[in-house]
């Protein structure tokens, strides 16, 4: 791809979603756009980009953004944090909520590994505990295509072997011809919405846990305050924002809305002194 073509797609992603596109690996971008060009009936990526620039901007813009900005992630990424979440945080929050459902939001759910990982942890916590833990998981993405795929709960041979123990695979998945499908019980725990986390939240509810890993570093610096404010507004009192490992270090964008939780790297609470109207 030429520098001008890379600049075109990067600017489009930035303007429409606030996300920074990593253009350091143009081959990866080319691979993704080649698939899109084929699906949209273009002979080459160059033809696709000419149509995008000249005559079919609105028809092609979102499919292009969706194929370039979807988060690829493995099951159970950041295993230590998720282990804390399943064994300590979920039971503690459930008790604090007096048995009301603990609400979790994954704002960049991609192909679904993250919300389904949360559903597995929740199911395992429910099986361990006898005090009626209830969990509602909201998964959102800006990509309709990713949401449609994630909703099926179908994953291939390679995807289910990354990050997922064999025990969890046989406990939480069903074999479906060449794929594995997340069990109906787990799929029922997850509600899917198309949401831009810069300005929207799913379901009109507040969340006890927001699992927002990988989003902050990929958001353009000038849009990060919008993201942080939106996430802060979406948190319930005492709710937790969980970032990816190292994402909060030196992130001035998080202050003054969020405070790090002592002894829990990458986990933040809303600053009680912070005015949401700010």
Partner 1 sequence: MKTCLVVDDSPVIRSLARRLVEARGIPVREAADGAQALAACKEEMPDLILLDWRMPVMSGLEALSKLRLMPGGDHPKVLVCSVETSPDLIRQALEAGADEYVMKPFDGEILASKITLAGVA
**Residue 151: which residues within 8 A CB-CB, separation 6 or more?**
112, 187, 192
Minimum gap (Å) between residue 70 Cβ and partner 1: 19
CA–CA distances in Å: residue 26 to residues 6, 7, 117: 8, 11, 30
What is the spatial distance between Cα 105 and Cα 115, in angstroms, rounded to a whole number?
8
Of residues 57 and 165, the one with the C-beta less far from partner 1: 165
Kindly state the DSSP code that residue 88 receives in the 8-state scheme. I
- Site track 28-67 with partner 1 (rule: CB under 8 A), x = hit: ----------------------------------------
- Residues touching partner 1, count (CB under 8 A): 14
Nearer of residues 25 and 252 to partner 1, judged by Cβ: 25
Q: Which of 22, 21, 26 is nearest to 2 (CA)?
A: 26
Residue 55 vs 167, nearer CB to partner 1: 167
> If binding is defined by CB under 8 A, does position 185 make contact with partner 1?
no
Reported as type and span, the H/E element at residue 238 is: strand 235-242
Nearer to partner 1, 100 or 185 (CB): 185
Binding of residue 74 to partner 1 (CB under 8 A): yes
Q: Is 247 in the site for partner 1 (CB under 8 A)?
A: no
The answer to whether the beta carbons of residues 276 and 233 sit under 8 Å apart is yes
**177 is a site residue for partner 1 (CB under 8 A):** no
- Whose Cβ is closer to partner 1: residue 95's or residue 165's? 165
**Phi, then psi, of 194 in degrees rounded to 5:** -90, 115
Nearer to partner 1, 40 or 74 (CB): 74
Closer residue to partner 1 in complex, CB, 40/77? 77
Taking the C-alpha atoms of residue 178 and residue 92, their distance in angstroms, rounded to an integer, is 39
* Binding flags for partner 1, 140-169, as an x/- string (CB under 8 A): -----------------xx--xxx-xxx-x
Residue 22: count other Cβ atoms within 10 Å of its Cβ.
13
**162, 113 contact by CB (below 8 A):** no
168-170-171 Cα angle (round to 5): 60
Which positions touch partner 1 (CB under 8 A)?
Answer: 74, 157-158, 161-163, 165-167, 169-170, 173-175
């Amino acid at each position: 791809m030429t520098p001008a073509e890379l600049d075109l797609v990067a600017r489009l992603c930035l303007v429409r979603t606030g996300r920074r596109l990593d253009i350091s690996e143009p081959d990866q971008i080319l691979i993704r756009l080649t698939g899109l060009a084929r699906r949209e009936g273009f002979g080459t990526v160059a033809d696709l980009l000419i149509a995008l620039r000249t005559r079919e901007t609105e028809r092609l813009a979102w499919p292009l953004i969706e194929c370039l900005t979807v988060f690829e992630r493995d099951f159970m990424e950041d295993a230590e944090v998720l282990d804390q979440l399943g064994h300590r945080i979920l039971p503690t929050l459930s008790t604090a909520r007096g048995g009301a459902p603990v609400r979790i939001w994954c704002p960049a759910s991609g192909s679904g590994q993250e919300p389904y990982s949360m559903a597995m942890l929740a199911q395992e916590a429910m099986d361990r505990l006898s005090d009626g833990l209830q969990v509602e998981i909201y998964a959102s993405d800006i990509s309709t295509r990713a949401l449609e795929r994630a909703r099926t709960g179908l994953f291939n041979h390679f995807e289910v072997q990354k990050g997922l123990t064999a025990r969890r695979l046989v406990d939480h998945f069903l074999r479906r011809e060449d794929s594995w499908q997340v069990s109906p019980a787990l799929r029922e725990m997850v509600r899917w919405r198309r949401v831009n986390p810069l300005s929207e939240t799913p379901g009109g509810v507040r969340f006890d846990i927001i699992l927002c890993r990988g989003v902050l570093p990929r958001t353009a610096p000038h849009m990060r305050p919008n993201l942080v404010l939106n996430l802060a507004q979406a948190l319930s009192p005492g709710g937790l924002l969980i970032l990816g490992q190292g994402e909060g270090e030196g992130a001035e964008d998080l202050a003054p809305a969020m405070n790090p939780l002592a002894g829990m790297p990458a986990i933040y609470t809303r600053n009680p002194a912070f005015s949401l109207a700010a």
